[in-house]
Amino acid sequence: MTPTKIARAPTPSELMARGPIPRHVAVIMDGNGRWAARRGVPRLWGHRAGRRAVREAIEACLELGVEILTLYTFSRENWERPRREVQGLMRFLVRTLNEEIENLDRSRVRLGVIGRLADLAPEVRQVVTKAMKRLDHHRRMRLLLALSYSGRSEIVDAARALVAEARAHPAAKVDESALAGHLYTAGLPDPDLVIRTSGEMRLSNFLLWQVAYSEFWVTDVLWPDFRRRHFYQAVADFQGRDRRFGRVD
């Protein structure tokens, strides 16, 4: 798979007329550090610049009727970054939620988190929980932030819960459906489309179980430069795929 070249992006109305719109889009927001390095500024500037790209992706989803947008916001591996950068990222997360909550509320976006929320500092966790509570009644679109997230840890957590359930109820069925019911995304459809920016060709421990049959779209565009037209191009590419889910035509 090679990074997708950006052609003319179709309009939302063209996309809705030409084919199915993905219900669930997941995004690996990559390239903030490289964006900053190319400009000779601190890495945190790249993360801050990526805030506009998040807004653009949300607006594109609202225009197209995408039901769920999952953003790979902070991985468990990210805790190993320099302390100053991690602290800056947490402060940026808190500030962004406080400043964007009104826009999300007006747009009727429901907020959720997948990952080990308990890993966050109490003051950060409090802001995230408060935002989720305020937006919990909305149903137009669901925005999921993957925070302190690891695909492997998610599967381990689900397996532990499944083992505990089987011990309490020996007759309980242990199969793929049962394990999926204990994932952080339990009850939600798997991503139809995964977008990765910056041209990297890896999953980076993101939604390992859920993306088994997702379509992938990779672009060389760094996340801070990602705009609605790129999102529309990804959806157009998705609409041209023949999704067989392992079956023979």
Q: Which residues are marked as active site?
A: 30, 78
CA atoms within 13 A on the CB side of 37: 5
SS (H, E, C) the chain: CCCCCCCCCCCHHHHHHHCCCCCEEEEECCCHHHHHHHHCCCHHHHHHHHHHHHHHHHHHHHHHCCCEEEEEEEEHHHHHCCHHHHHHHHHHHHHHHHHHHHHHHHCCEEEEEECCHHHCCHHHHHHHHHHHHHHCCCCCEEEEEEEEECHHHHHHHHHHHHHHHHHHCCCCCCCHHHHHCCCCCCCCCCCCEEEECCCCCCCCCCCCCCCCCCEEEECCCCHHHCCHHHHHHHHHHHHCCCCCCCCCC
Specify which residues 83 forms β-bridges with. none
The torsion angles phi and psi of 174, rounded to 5 degrees, stand at -115, 105
Q: How far is CA 192 from the centre of its chain?
A: 12
